[in-house]
Amino acid sequence: MAEFTTGEAVAIELPVARIPTRGAAFVLDLLLQAALAIVLFALSMLLVDGNDANPWFTTLTMISLVTVLVGYPVAWETLLRGATPGKLVLGLRVVRADGGPVDFRHALTRGLTGAIVDFWMLGLFGVIAVVSSTCSPNGRRVGDVLAGTVVVHMRQRLSVPALAIPPVWLTGWSAELDPAALPEDLALAVRQYLTRINSLTPAAQHDLGQALVAAVCARLRVAPPPGYPPVQILGSVIAERQRRSLQPPAAFAPRPVRFAPKS
């Protein structure tokens, strides 16, 4: 088991996937990749003359190879948020180091590193992946280290994140901000401060809060509202950030319903 602190400062424990399960998932995916390679090679033979001297055939072969080795894991992990068919069968999923879902950037980093370092070009057919995973406390191969990800068993439900409640008197100020400019590591530090503030001494609450307010306002390029304690300023910023991230797109947002007063 490994403990993760989510983006909402919720501590969760997830069982880390080790080499036997990850190897079984890899073999299942490898069979599907082999089938995909055969299909793409057959299509290449049909489209152009299957001659090594034919530049078009060589080009299509290289494209097919990249598609199988890199495109397959990247596409599946992006579409299934960290899973591939082999991982789904074994109940595995790739998550970020904070327990959150991965996106295309993480999948691309893992896919490229897997093809170049962990498995094929320099990986001695998986020896590098096995060695790095064995030496890592959380079973991370080189691609996981570079992408900031971990492969875990996903048989249990994740904890519901805690949402910040903004002070009413600062909602107008925070509504004018651009919370997207706040980096995830700084936002995580603020959320952890807010959730653990009762365990801090008054001096630590003030000093750490002032430092976080200065860092947050510097990234957002605004001046902190005068006369308010750090916990209220930070809570207002995080609440606005959460509100916008949970808000549905305009096309799918429910329309307000107006009720006529009874006569």
| Full-model pTM | 0.61
Domain residues of the chain, as ranges?
2-153, 168-246
Q: 151 φ, ψ to 5°?
A: -95, 125
Classify residue 15 as exposed, middle or buried by CB count within 10 Å of its CB (0-12, 13-18, 19+): middle
Shortest CA distance to 85 belongs to which of 95, 70, 73, 99? 73
- pLDDT above 50 (res 262): no
Over residues 217-261, the pLDDT tens digits come to 998 889 988 888 988 888 888 888 877 766 554 443 444 444 444
Tens-digit pLDDT profile for residues 105-147: 999 999 999 999 999 888 788 899 999 999 988 889 999 999 9
Query: What is residue 186's predicted lDDT score, i.e. its pLDDT?
Result: 86
The residues, any chain, with a CB within 8 Å of residue 101's CB and separated by 6 or more, are 81, 82, 95
Rounded distance between C-alpha atoms, residue 203 and residue 234, angstroms: 17
169-206 pLDDT tens trace: 888 888 888 877 888 788 888 888 888 888 888 888 88
Q: What is the pLDDT of residues 19-56, one digit of tens each?
A: 999 999 999 999 999 999 999 998 888 888 766 667 88
| Interval 143-158 mean pLDDT | 81
CA distance to 116, 117, 129, 134, 159, per residue, from 124 (Å): 10, 9, 9, 16, 39
| Beta carbons within 10 angstroms of residue 147's beta carbon | 24
Question: Structure tokens of 15?
Answer: 């069982």
